[in-house]
Amino acid sequence: MTIIIEQPQFDAAAERKVAGDPAELVLDGGFTVPDSNAFGHTFRDYDAESERKKTVEEFYSVNHINQTYEFVQRMRDAYGRLDKTEMSIWECIELLNEFIDDSDPDLDMPQIEHLLQTAEAIRKDYPDEDWLHLTGLIHDLGKVLLHPSFGELPQWAVVGDTFPVGCAFDECNVHSKYFKENPDYHNPEFNTKFGAYSEGCGLDKVLMSWGHDDYMYLVAKENKTTLPSAGLFIIRYHSFYRKPLHKHGAYTHLMNEEDKENLKWLHVFNKYDLYSKSSIRIDVEEVKPYYMSLIDKYFPGKLRW
């Protein structure tokens, strides 16, 4: 997300800079990670004995078996046309009220709650980075793929941690044992370290497992958003970063220099994405005018989806 490198370790004190320009990185905005999630367990613990454990593991078993190189190509071709409907960003946000993410071990509330919690937590710590506030609000909008008007795709084709397809599946991916049943696992064209790719090719040349991340990236890009490249990178790879890339440095051999720079902003973003989840509700009508102003700044009124 070039040459194999060690996963960068970010020293918040050493790299804190003045905010204002997306190129100027502020790694520590002051956010404190809670001790436990909404269920009283450690965040992102896929093995914790909770009411969510069985649902989450069943999700990843189906996801890992079915996310093949051919499947991703087919989905990108079909949904990349953006011919399903036209609607505004906020209309899309309201559609997400109907869905709960089966892959998430930390929260079982409608998606609009997560979007606003993420955006508001970022806004508090990074008041001058309005592009990052908006990125927090819209990063999961691709989950509208679950809606009947978008084909009502199954959850395994929409949510969950993402990973490259077309090369060997890394064992540090969540519930990696299920990859052994994926047809690409036994395909010599795709089951080597580089597979269909080359060293340092850049993540934009790599097919990721299909889901809401890649779809929302396509929507934003093709509708000519003026978000900075770091915002688009966050939208496209926020579900890839969590375990393999951040914790284990997997797949860094596919990254180029631009990826490495944008990864620093993804590092900032993901603690808000992962750890701002709670049972505390946000007053939607109170914060809506602010986010509407950001939508108008960075997006057209109606988008093709």
212 assigned to a ligand binding site: yes
102 assigned to a ligand binding site: yes
273 assigned to a ligand binding site: yes
239 assigned to a ligand binding site: yes
pTM comes to 0.81
140 assigned to a ligand binding site: yes
139 assigned to a ligand binding site: yes
8 A C-beta contact, residue 269 and residue 97? no
Question: 210-231, pLDDT tens digit by residue?
Answer: 999 999 999 999 999 999 999 9
Question: 59-116, pLDDT tens digit by residue?
Answer: 999 999 999 999 999 999 999 999 999 999 999 999 888 776 565 554 556 778 889 9
8 A C-beta contact, residue 176 and residue 64? yes
pLDDT at 51 over 90: no
Between residues 176 and 34, the one the model is more confident about: 176
